[in-house]
Chain A
Amino acid sequence: MFKNKYTPYLFILPALILILIFVYIPIVQNFYFSFFRMNSYSPGQTFIGLDNYKDIFQNDIFYTAIVNNVWYAVISLIVQVGLGLVLAITLESKLLGKERKFFRTIYFIPSVIAIAAVGLMFYYIYNPNLGLLNAVISMFTEGNFRYAWLGDPNTAIFAVIAMSQWQFTGYIMILLIVAIQKIPQELYEVAEIDGASSFQKAIYVTIPQIKEMILVTSVITVIGAFKLFTEIFVTTRGGPYDTTQVLGTFMYKTAFFYDKMGYAAAIAVIIFFITFTTSVFQIKFANKGED
């Protein structure tokens, strides 16, 4: 059937070459860079071993960033996966009719908008003088409520995290809905014969049946939390006083603001280890779900 033994390679090589040049080689290089002191304009580079890593672990911003990434992950797990699950189960329950499609579509819309656009949208929503949030709060309180949600170090990171919950809860919800739709109806019929309430059906049938997808969405959420960049960059740029830095923005600032490429590469290696190990879990569970 396939006479020429080189034919398969002709199909595969273009893609493979592109992936190697633009994904694999840079990532390997990034590891290499992380052992050097170097910058973007001058060609010189000095081997300094693990010094970049030592410096990172002594840098306060690194710990601020990690804490912010973790906050983002934890809150996103609770809201996007937790609330997303409640919404998915509710929208798929028999209680609702055709209206479920309407809600599903509406809740998903924010996730198709560019993060940069959503970020700027909330930049204005949170604006102390003319933003939507303060204007709405002012309707319920006496006088003018003027709070700088993104300007106050106590609330800035949480304001950004809240924005992401607004954007991505519907996305996680859809993934869970698709999983729920694959559950065989007979399981519910059996549960109904046994007299299960809709709450019991959710706990004893739905959740165990979509266990894998819950894990996958949890992992996606955690990886997303450590890849965080755009949300912060377009709203606070890591400020005020570096309180909203995350690993991604910390790396960017180190590379392109302080021009310390090797140091930034070492931060990227740390991002790599966190996201890669979490990703390995995802693949493991995703494959399990397909079997």
Chain B
Amino acid sequence: MKNQFEKSRFRLLKKSIIIFFLIVLTLLVLYPMYWVVISSLKTNSEFLSSPLAFPSELQFENYIQAWQQGFSRYFFNSILINIVSVVLTVSVGAACAYGLARFKFKGRNIIFYTILAGLLLSPQVAVLPLYKLLVRINLYNTYWALILPYVGFRLPFAIFLMRSYFLSIPREIEESAYIDGCNSFTTFIKIVLPISKPIIASAAIVTSRFFWNEFLFALIFIEDSAKYTIPIGLSHFRNTLTTNYTGMLAGITIAALPMVILFLVMQKQFIKGLTAGSVKG
């Protein structure tokens, strides 16, 4: 009896130590974010005089100011580019993934490996020729200058993800649709897509995170500040509003919030898509 009692006491001690370290790490993760949020709710002078203190009065005006000084525009641009890019990536990608998963045709393997190899290519290596191309075809400094390269670079991932899902769907479901008189397009749209909702959601969320956060293309392919996305707008803000610290911190919070909320709400799909993709950035 005594032995068992000591064993469980030892276990409790071990658990307490581990929990203690996990809590320390939790604070290390959360405190910087908490600091940004409380600082964004201070007046500038309060922030300068006591950087650690809690604001004496919450200054929500900082958010209104940041919003009016450009963030509403950046937000709109980011959302627009995101929606169009995600819809294109997922729809074009799903069609391609279905074609690769279900049909036998000449050149299938070559096409599949060409697309798969696209996963390995980093945007940095394409950015200069893309810039020249976009200037030449008059798309430079338009929304399409971001949308088209975004779609091109995320398609391999989306196709890879959806193809393996389509392969796991039993063929019989589609065969009965063909017997009912569907052709391959109507089968794809009416039968396959509806039962593939979970994987489409994963693909959409993960590509959306990528587009929302993308920096390099957005920096180089857009010149006009009215077309900036949020990350570029933020970095531009830093250069123009060097002394309005709290407004800047409000901007950071506005930029970070949507993805954090999306993650907290759709954790499952988020992690599923990420682990299937295993590509950072």
Contacts and interface: CB of A to CB of B under 8 A. Distances in A.
Q: Are A and B bound to each other?
A: yes
A127 to B, nearest CB: 9
Interface-central residue, A113, A130, A217, A251, by most chain B CB under 10 Å: A113
B34 to A, nearest CB: 10
A241 interface: no
Contact of A15 (B115, B116, B129, B234): B115
Interface stretch (A52-60, A62-70, A186-194, A229-237): A229-237
Contacts of B15: 95-96
B271 A174 contact: yes
Interface in A225-270: 227, 229-230, 233-234, 248, 251-252, 255-256, 261, 264-265, 268-269
Contacts of A12: 95-96, 99-100, 111
B14 interface: yes
B259 interface: yes
B26 interface: yes
B118 to A, nearest CB: 5
Contact of B259 (A114, A132, A264): A114
Nearest to A168: B280
Interface-central residue, B114, B119, B127, by most chain A CB under 10 Å: B127
A243 to B, nearest CB: 20
Interface residues of A, number: 96
Nearest to A198: B14
A95 B14 CA distance: 8
Interface string A156-194: 000000000010101100110010000000000000000
B156 interface: yes
Nearest to B98: A11
B260 A120 contact: no
B126 A30 contact: yes
A154 interface: no
B112 to A, nearest CB: 9
A27 B126 contact: yes
B124 A220 contact: no
Contact of A234 (B26, B105, B235): B235
Nearest to B232: A116
A224 B95 CA distance: 30
Contact of B271 (A14, A178, A230, A256): A178
Given A5-B105, A12-B111, A106 B30 contact: yes
A230 B263 CA distance: 22
Interface string A3-38: 001011111101110110111111101100100000
A189 to B, nearest CB: 18
B209 A112 contact: yes
Nearest to B32: A125
Interface stretch (B59-67, B194-202, B214-222): B214-222
Contact of B215 (A115, A264, A265, A280): A115
Given A112-B209, A124-B245, A14 B92 contact: yes
A130 B121 contact: no
Contact of B148 (A8, A18, A227, A272): A18
Nearest to A272: B125
A234 B255 CA distance: 14
A283 interface: yes
A40 interface: yes
B231 to A, nearest CB: 4
Interface in B101-139: 103-105, 108, 111, 114-116, 118-122, 124-133, 135
A22 B52 contact: no
The secondary structure that dominates the B interface is helix
Nearest to B219: A233
B108 to A, nearest CB: 8
B278 interface: yes
A105 B260 CA distance: 10
B120 A283 contact: yes
B248 A216 contact: no
Contacts of A5: 105
B280 A29 contact: no
B248 A113 contact: no
Interface string B228-245: 001110110010000001
A140 interface: no
B124 A271 contact: yes
A14 B51 contact: no
A227 to B, nearest CB: 5
Contacts of B212: 114
Interface string B7-33: 000010011001100100110111111
A74 interface: no
A46 B124 CA distance: 23
Contacts of B263: 108-109, 112
Interface of A: 1-2, 5, 7-12, 14-16, 18-19, 21-27, 29-30, 33, 40, 87, 90-91, 95-96, 99, 103, 105-110, 112-125, 129-132, 135-136, 139, 166, 168, 170-171, 174-175, 178, 216-217, 220-221, 223-224, 227, 229-230, 233-234, 248, 251-252, 255-256, 261, 264-265, 268-269, 271-272, 275-276, 279-280, 282-283, 286
Given A12-B95, A16-B111, A271-B122, 11 more contacts: A7-B184, A19-B152, A26-B126, A26-B133, A115-B213, A117-B256, A118-B256, A121-B252, A223-B122, A251-B124, A268-B127
